[in-house]
Structure 1
């Protein structure tokens, strides 16, 4: 039998949302990165995206590097294996605005180096005299 997902608003006063979750918060981490302003900044982001399980997103004015990786202490029952000695960042985390509801939606989300490079080319200012078009290819030799 498939168990229906409990809605956040249906929880009782003594229930913890984590008891109904698959520990999404323990399966990635996201770190703020500098806002890219030129092509060299986008080259760094492109390098991030060349790595497995990395993505980059922009939300509410902040750029983030997101690494999809599971905490090594997450147990099969989705509970923390070091709960009593977990890091402070885990202790401070609350379910008030967590990802339980599956509504991950970012202003911009990039998964491939090609996506970020296309975005960079479309949004980054060109140097004076630099054309938006590709350079003109060399002329073909004339055959006699």
Structure 2
């Protein structure tokens, strides 16, 4: 593997793009989740985000749970250790639209439970009896 990777356009037709990559596609997986439509849905997403190495993103109107975890068969050279017997999902994956170029971004991206809760409060209709103001703090006890 080279110290600096060539641009996608500079990789020749006789070369394999993966030989120049850091294997981002093997360092996480993302699963579609239901689009949140009520506060209870956001509570589930908040629960996901309470776990290490999890984030949630929205892209093209689809919400995803993203789990940052490395495939146990990824070798130190960023190549697949079970290439000949890799799962079908890996066989179907192509480099045509992969993240090699580092220029991907998401419509919405949440890393913490606080972020998703703030988003829910900002976008969902207020619940009955809910005020825009913060709750009144309890009164301080009177010292005698």
**Common fold by TM > 0.5:** yes
Residue aligning to 1:48:
48
Aligned to 1:62: 62
Which residue in the other structure is 2:93 paired with? 93
Q: Who is 2:10 aligned against?
A: 10
The CA deviation at 1:128 is 4.2
What SS does structure 2 have at the residue aligned with 1:22?
A: coil
Q: Which secondary structure state, in structure 2, belongs to the residue aligned with residue 51 of structure 1?
A: coil
Q: Secondary structure at the match of 1:30?
A: strand
Distance in 2 (CA, whole Å) between partners of 1:135 and 1:77 is 54
Which digits, 9 at most, give the CA deviation of each residue in 1:6-48, with x for residues without a partner? 1001111111100101111000000010011111100100000
Unmatched runs of 5 consecutive residues or more in structure 2: none
Count of residue correspondences:
143
User: In the alignment, what sits opposite 1:105?
Assistant: 105
- Aligned mates of 1:142, 1:71 — CA distance in 2: 59
> What SS does the aligned partner of 1:81 have?
coil
Determine the C-alpha separation between the residues in 1 that align with 2:102 and 2:139: 55
User: How far is the alpha carbon of 1:127 from its aligned partner?
Assistant: 2.9
**CA apart distance, 1:132:** 2.4
Q: Distance in 2 between matches of 1:84 and 1:70?
A: 19
Alignment partners' CA distance in 2, 1:28 and 1:38? 28
The TM-score normalised by the length of structure 2 is 0.90
What's the RMSD between the two structures over aligned residues? 1.9
By how many angstroms is 1:136 displaced? 4.1
- 1:140 deviation in Å? 6.8
The unaligned stretches of length 5 or more in structure 1 are: none
